[in-house]
Amino acid sequence: MDDAVGLDRCFAFINCQLRPADRPAGRDAEARRLPAVTISRQAGCGALVVAEKLAARLQACSPKGAPPWTVFDRNLMEKVLEDHHLPARLAKFLPEDRTTELQDIMDEVFGLRPPSLTIVHQVTETILHLAELGGVILIGRGGNVITARLPNVFHVRLVAPLEQRVEHAHEYYGMTKKAARDFCLREDRGRKRYLKKYFHADADDPLLQHLTINTGLVDYDEAARIIADAMRNRFEVLRR
């Protein structure tokens, strides 16, 4: 996704949600509130592609006048954190980056950035706020654990055989096969450590999900359709 286009969608979504005239009150507000989706994924599963296709499907079955379904991925979430007045230079330290504890301590001592727990707290606050608004697809960062108690959130995990994930990363990011393999393995390790360190959760725990899809067996269009159908069955607002 182009960062500029993605950022425009991000702020368009937020501005639309924050307009008082567009926000119904009381029971009507709850009845019309759109659900949200979290996508946990192994690296190279095509999560962003599936999310964009899913957003289009969910938009088609959402009530007339509903805000546009918006995907928040790695780049967009970094921009959203501007709400917390974090300087742009901290972007590389945001969740799922592999910062060692020693580096974390040194950077905090020398005032280079806030400690990682502070940053994770800010990201968590942002994820909860977006999920409560609804109409969003949140990729990664422990979103499924963070929003586990919110009844309007649907949790999905995408998996696939390593060789197919390597091929996708090779084609999607323009990496060499070796670089793509290293990328997938590194990202998987980092995400598992992140979830375990900050949320005491196992990224591969199927009990954290409503639905797990193998994109090695199901193509991206079909994956988006399966998720959208499951959500229509679960949330009345998407059946109107």
pLDDT of residue 89: 53
pLDDT in tens, the chain (240 residues): 444 444 454 445 445 544 444 444 455 555 568 999 999 999 999 999 999 999 999 999 988 888 899 999 875 556 556 665 655 555 554 545 555 554 555 455 545 455 566 677 778 888 898 899 899 999 988 999 999 999 999 999 999 999 999 999 999 889 999 999 999 999 999 889 889 888 889 999 999 999 999 999 999 999 999 999 999 999 989 986
User: What is the CA 180 to chain-centroid distance, rounded?
Assistant: 21
Structure tokens at 216: 């090695």
Whole-prediction pTM: 0.77
pLDDT of residue 10: 46
Q: Which domain holds residue 111?
A: 3-17+36-235
Element (H, E) at 192: helix 177-199
Number of domains in the chain: 1
Domain presence at residue 173: yes
pLDDT of residue 106: 46
Domain presence at residue 225: yes
Domain presence at residue 80: yes
Domain presence at residue 152: yes
Domain presence at residue 71: yes
Helix (H, G, I), strand (E, B) or coil at 144: helix
Is the Cα torsion angle 121, 7, 44, 183 positive or negative in sign? negative
Which residues pair with residue 70 across a beta bridge? Answer: 136
Domain presence at residue 161: yes
- Phi, psi dihedral angles at 105 (to 5 degrees): -65, -45
Domain presence at residue 26: no
Element (H, E) at 116: helix 116-133
Structure tokens at 102: 């020693």
Domain presence at residue 22: no
Characterise 219 by phi-psi region: left (phi > 0), alpha (psi -120 to 50), beta (else): beta
Closest CA relative to residue 212, chosen from 160, 139, 157: 157
- How far CA 66 is from CA of 14, 35, 77, 137, in Å, comes to 13, 12, 22, 15
Domain harbouring 171, CATH code: 3.40.50.300
pLDDT of residue 239: 80
Helix (H, G, I), strand (E, B) or coil at 231: helix
DSSP conformational letter for 214: E
pLDDT of residue 20: 43
